[in-house]
Amino acid sequence: MQQGQNRITQLFNIQYPIIQAGMIWHSGWKLASAVSNCGGLGLIGSASMYPDILRENIQKCKKATDKPFGVNVALLYPNLEEIINIILEEGVKIVFTSAGSPKAYTETLQKEGIKVAHVVSSTKFAMKCEDAGVDAIVAEGFEAGGHNGRDETTTFCLIPNVRKHISKPLIAAGGIALGSQIKAAMILGADGVQIGFSFCCDYRSKCAQ
């Protein structure tokens, strides 16, 4: 493995093990391509997008960056089949699924050469992801924005426990913003981090200037 690389940077072919979370209403092509251009992994959040809007965001993102980017698919929203078809037709290479079973689309997407990560909020569900054969697991603590799990386990309690039970590449999410927090997550067993709220604040404050 090259210096500075780890399982997450290698899996997604990125420079830094930092993922910009898919966020309903907040992560379109502009934010995703900006993060990917800086060496992280930008995700388009499809949950707030009608299928034609998603297609437009993917096409604009492809024009705005030649770096890898992905799409977040929250499995509880309508038009799922249509969303998945657009992802396949547009040649998206990375998909982060959430809010549903990791078994639902992992195999279908992987058959087309797509890397799949799934988001969970507990060790029990992380183990289900491993059984489903996902490429990476996002373990999201209770601090995370958006929908959270019922267990209310905080990120830095969740990560070491998930690490104990799974061997797949692990991404920590929830309340992470600073370099020291990224380092702490990795010391506790994560291979990378997914950051939501801080990216959307930072992006919006810069765009407002």
Identified binder of ligand FMN from the candidate list 17, 40, 42, 45, rule CB under 6 A: 45
Identified binder of ligand FMN from the candidate list 32, 136, 158, 173, rule CB under 6 A: 173
22 binds ligand FMN (CB under 6 A): yes
In whole angstroms, the minimum distance from the beta carbon of 141 to ligand FMN comes to: 8
26 binds ligand FMN (CB under 6 A): yes
182 binds ligand FMN (CB under 6 A): no
28 binds ligand FMN (CB under 6 A): no
Let me know: does 75 contact 98? Beta carbons within 8 Å.
yes
CA distances from 106 to 45, 49, 98, 158 (A): 18, 21, 11, 23
Identified binder of ligand FMN from the candidate list 109, 170, 176, 182, rule CB under 6 A: 176
Let me know: does 49 contact 65? Beta carbons within 8 Å.
no
Rank residues 70 and 146 by Cβ distance to ligand FMN and give the closer one: 146
Let me know: does 73 contact 46? Beta carbons within 8 Å.
yes
Backbone φ and ψ for 153, nearest 5 degrees, come out as -80, 130
Burial letters for 70-86: b for 16+ Cβ neighbours within 10 Å, e otherwise? bbbbbbeeeebeebbeb
Identified binder of ligand FMN from the candidate list 32, 44, 61, 119, rule CB under 6 A: 119
| Of 30, 23, 9, the residue nearest 140 (C-alpha) | 23
Q: For residue 106, what are its two tokens?
A: 């992992």
- The 123-162 site mask, x for binding ligand FMN (CB under 6 A), equals -----------------x--xxxx----------------
Chain residues binding ligand FMN by CB under 6 A are 21-24, 26, 45, 47, 72, 74, 98, 119, 140, 143-146, 173-176, 194-198
